[in-house]
Chain A
Amino acid sequence: MAQQKAALSFDLIAKCSVSRARASTMTLPHGPVELPMFMPVATQASLKGLTPEQLESLGCRLCLNNTYHLGLKPGQATLDAVGGAHRLQSWNHNILTDSGGFQMVSLLKLAKITEEGVRFLSPHDGSPMLLTPEHSMSLQNSIGSDIMMQLDDVIATTSPDKERIVEAMHRSVRWLDRCIEAHKYPEKQNLFCIIQGGLDLELRRECVKEMVKRDTPGIAIGGLSGGEEKAKYCAVVRTCTEMLPDMKPRYVMGVGYPEDLVVSVALGADMFDCVWPTRTARFGNAVTSRGTLNLRHASYAADFSPVDEDCDCPCCRSKENGGLGVTKAYIHHLTGKETAGAHILTMHNVYYLLDLMRNARQAIIADAYPSFVKEFFGKIYKYDTAEYPIWAVDALKTVGIDLTEA
């Protein structure tokens, strides 16, 4: 197998002396990003009402676009004419695109997967369409993302069909080869492979071996975050990171709950994405250091405290300190009624997750990640260890962090 070209450089800065947590810097075509990191999802080339200027001001340097959505709107011809997604949305930092395969499964009822690709009905006119690895690469080449994902055969981890899971894993490897073959610009766009294999750890190991051989610039762990038990999720992540080369970024797809992030970092993952923080913001839910708050609840109608007292985002920061001084009551007043309410809370939620990972990175560099994890859980559960989720306690124990000890 030929050595793959990479359009990134990866520097491992520090490793936690207890857990598998790592701090690194990845330099992509549109500048360096610091790992571990959370990547907000700008599905249709816009982060849900925020301007690129606002997203940049939150410290985001790598966000997602969805290939499937951009393929429909504005469409490949327009993307080519405009000159790619960076140009389309005037975003001068990095973009990661998925392959389009996940939306086939999540959004469409009639997706049928064959060796050739994913068959589905066009949401425009109902005509049959086919998404192949080659087509996915072509679309992502038109988008011009800094990180592209291979088309993989995604099935729900909760699927009881063992045979189908095996088939999907092997097919994902074959599709990776087709993607590598079809990728036009390996010198300026990085293609990441996606490890599949359901919740079967043996299958996952086999997949890791095959994928690592292909030597892609980065490696993703896919097919998770689909409603499986958290303990099983952790086992898969741990199994994969154990075998993955140190000098490549590791991306766990579709993960966005703060607790999942903190635990997954301890298990050795570097990158995460999820629509949850931005979607839930539109429903009036604030992600905070003390858990998620549903600000639509009547109890917040006259709560004039900031969304998160410990947060330094532009919304939570007080007017005296140059922030907007937004209160929970004001979000309550706006949620579901004015778009700007969603914008404000989206900013907060994105900032919270970016900042959580920035702080995690600092802790890893200071070799204090275990105490960072303890403080993080302590704050959410008021240091009542009985309240800590068992899956998190167990998963962290496997990498040497004992949440229950003082």
Chain B
Amino acid sequence: MNTFRVLKTAVTDVAATTTQPGATTAARTGVLNLSKGFTVQTPNFLAPTSRGVVPHISPDNFERNTGVEGVFVALEDFIEKAPQRIPPLYTYPSTLRSFISLPSSAFLLLSARRSPNITCPKANSDANLSILTSVGFRDLPIKDYVSAVIRLEPDIVLGIADIANTVSPGKNRVQKMVNRTVKWLDELLGSVYAGGSSSGGGDNNSTDEKDTVKKLPAVFAPILPLEKERQRFYLSHLVENVEKLSGLVFTTNESVDVVPEELAGLPKLQSDVVGGPHQVLEMVERGVDLFNVGFVGTMTDAGIALHFSFSADEVMDNGGKDKLDLATDMWDVKFATDLSPLEEGCDCYTCKTHHKAYIRHCLEAKEMTAWVLLQIHNLKVVERFFGGVRRSIEEGWWEKGRSGFEVKYTREMPVGTGLGPRLRGYQYKSVGGEGKLNEPAYRSLDSGDEDGL
């Protein structure tokens, strides 16, 4: 059984409520028990993956040097363009977890697409989702996703939302979005619960059936990026099926506010966290439990080291002066001979073993080790941050911690100045006419017309 239990809701600070009458916080801690034996304390984060790996982190490093508890894996990363060939993953005799050598300590969430993802030029159809493979766009039949879910045995599976390519879809498109998302969710639920009890919970079934139900993946239903009224039909469908749902997922911050009361007990996943820790805190405040932290990899690729923490420290507000940066660009030449760790007191492998000078050297020399070391550290910073957030709610200092964080740190992440790892086709969408995104590695010294080396 996949269950979620809210442990504690943050206490609203009396001082804060007097200035803002009626203000309440939805921040909460909880525990998500997944049927395959994972216990996840929330709020918590998932590390995004690309082609099944947390970027730059080989599975041995994952196990030894990170505390990542869950990963976000997209099926589109495993599908090839040519439709005539069966994706190798579909013929793999074991689970997706085993294919990507995921350490047994981490749970696996399967989504059809990455998050955030690249908008496909072709719209979805009733039976197909448009996806981006490593070599181009194609259709992913919904039925393929549904059957892959059974075979690949993820711990959590996301329902597919039909999201319009336009920012404000018209009435007809919205209706289509709602209808398709309902249909696709039903197909997924039907497949997941096939053989199990149709009522879903399984509590009243015989022991045999109970065992089957026990191994089922947790289904997280998408909330559409629409106003509440426009997806009313869909939301009521979710309420009707609440027994079969183990969570909710959404991509925009606003979507959390459309969740009906009946679904409030489900864990909520924000799958598109690109804004950094301030966005996380804002969403924790609004009751979000799980975060797919896309910003971490972006910072790592830019050669930026994170260093922020969530604490109960007393912070003086001096009008925004002397705010601390959330992160530092390690390309800066001032680190060339700096033998201090990325963050004083950090116990990650990178900080325990290496210094800024080495990381700066590896960036400058475009050695892949730079991103490995930064990613290990950055993931550790985020892990500690979420630990702090959970403690604050448990111990009753959430609001103090949150306002302290606001005062202590600048809002914006630094902008990278150096070159990241080589960009791949599946990481951006060509709009035509842009120059080369990757600089050539070698150039002839004396003339432009002959090859160097």
Residues of A at the B interface (CB closer than 8 Å) are 44-54, 57, 69, 73-74, 78, 81-82, 87-90, 106-110, 121, 123, 126, 301-302, 304, 314, 319, 324-327, 329-330, 332-334, 337-344, 347
- The answer to whether A51 and B357 touch across the interface, beta carbons within 8 angstroms, is no
Residues of B at the A interface (CB closer than 8 Å) are 50-61, 64, 78, 88, 91-94, 98-101, 134, 336-337, 339, 349, 353-355, 357-358, 361-362, 364-365, 367-373, 421, 424, 426, 444-446, 450, 452-453
- The answer to whether A337 and B424 touch across the interface, beta carbons within 8 angstroms, is yes
Q: A45-B367, A302-B88, A338-B51 are in contact. List 13 more A-B contacts (CB 8 A).
A: A48-B368, A54-B58, A74-B361, A78-B336, A109-B446, A110-B446, A319-B101, A325-B98, A326-B101, A333-B52, A339-B56, A342-B368, A344-B58
B52 neighbours in A (Cβ, 8 Å): 330, 333-334
Least distance between B449 CB and chain A CB atoms (Å):
12
**C-alpha gap A69/B366 in the complex (Å):** 12
18 pairs, CB–CB < 8 Å, chain A vs chain B: A44-B362, A45-B367, A46-B365, A48-B369, A49-B56, A49-B369, A50-B369, A50-B372, A106-B453, A121-B445, A324-B60, A334-B53, A337-B134, A338-B51, A338-B53, A339-B55, A340-B55, A347-B60
- The answer to whether A123 and B445 touch across the interface, beta carbons within 8 angstroms, is yes
The residue on B at minimum CB distance from A344 is B58
B337 neighbours in A (Cβ, 8 Å): 78, 81-82
**Which one, A50, A74, A110, A329, contacts B99 given CB within 8 A?**
A329
**Which one, B91, B368, B426, contacts A49 given CB within 8 A?**
B368
**Which one, B94, B369, B453, contacts A107 given CB within 8 A?**
B453
A301 neighbours in B (Cβ, 8 Å): 88
B365 neighbours in A (Cβ, 8 Å): 44-46, 69, 73
A53 neighbours in B (Cβ, 8 Å): 64, 349, 353
- The answer to whether B372 and A343 touch across the interface, beta carbons within 8 angstroms, is yes
A107 neighbours in B (Cβ, 8 Å): 452-453
B445 neighbours in A (Cβ, 8 Å): 108-110, 121, 123, 126
**Which one, A46, A110, A325, A334, contacts B367 given CB within 8 A?**
A46
**C-alpha gap A344/B58 in the complex (Å):** 6
A344 neighbours in B (Cβ, 8 Å): 58-59
Q: Which of A325, A333, A334 has the most CB of B within 10 A?
A: A333
- The answer to whether A48 and B367 touch across the interface, beta carbons within 8 angstroms, is yes
B51 neighbours in A (Cβ, 8 Å): 333-334, 337-338, 341
Least distance between A211 CB and chain B CB atoms (Å):
30
**Which one, B53, B64, B353, B361, contacts A73 given CB within 8 A?**
B361
The residue on A at minimum CB distance from B451 is A109
**Which one, B91, B353, B444, contacts A302 given CB within 8 A?**
B91
- The answer to whether B93 and A340 touch across the interface, beta carbons within 8 angstroms, is no
**C-alpha gap A28/B228 in the complex (Å):** 71
**C-alpha gap A121/B452 in the complex (Å):** 13
- The answer to whether A339 and B368 touch across the interface, beta carbons within 8 angstroms, is yes
- The answer to whether B61 and A54 touch across the interface, beta carbons within 8 angstroms, is yes
Least distance between A85 CB and chain B CB atoms (Å):
10
- The answer to whether B91 and A340 touch across the interface, beta carbons within 8 angstroms, is no
Least distance between A300 CB and chain B CB atoms (Å):
9
A106 neighbours in B (Cβ, 8 Å): 453
- The answer to whether B78 and A324 touch across the interface, beta carbons within 8 angstroms, is no
- The answer to whether A340 and B349 touch across the interface, beta carbons within 8 angstroms, is no
**C-alpha gap A326/B371 in the complex (Å):** 22
Q: Which of B58, B444, B450 has the most CB of A within 10 A?
A: B58
**C-alpha gap A326/B52 in the complex (Å):** 12
B93 neighbours in A (Cβ, 8 Å): 304
**Which one, B98, B101, B371, contacts A339 given CB within 8 A?**
B371
- The answer to whether B99 and A82 touch across the interface, beta carbons within 8 angstroms, is no
A342 neighbours in B (Cβ, 8 Å): 368
A108 neighbours in B (Cβ, 8 Å): 445
**C-alpha gap A341/B424 in the complex (Å):** 14
**C-alpha gap A48/B421 in the complex (Å):** 13
A341 neighbours in B (Cβ, 8 Å): 51, 53
Given A49-B372, A90-B353, are A329 and B88 neighbors across the interface (CB < 8 Å)?
yes
- The answer to whether B373 and A338 touch across the interface, beta carbons within 8 angstroms, is no
The residue on B at minimum CB distance from A301 is B88
**C-alpha gap A74/B359 in the complex (Å):** 11
Least distance between A344 CB and chain B CB atoms (Å):
5
**C-alpha gap A295/B276 in the complex (Å):** 38
- The answer to whether B78 and A333 touch across the interface, beta carbons within 8 angstroms, is yes
The residue on B at minimum CB distance from A343 is B58
**Which one, A90, A110, A123, A340, contacts B58 given CB within 8 A?**
A340
**C-alpha gap A110/B91 in the complex (Å):** 54
7 pairs of A and B residues whose beta carbons are closest in the complex: A49-B368, A46-B369, A81-B337, A302-B88, A44-B365, A46-B367, A340-B53
B61 neighbours in A (Cβ, 8 Å): 51, 54, 343
B450 neighbours in A (Cβ, 8 Å): 109
- The answer to whether B372 and A51 touch across the interface, beta carbons within 8 angstroms, is yes
The residue on A at minimum CB distance from B424 is A337
Least distance between B18 CB and chain A CB atoms (Å):
52
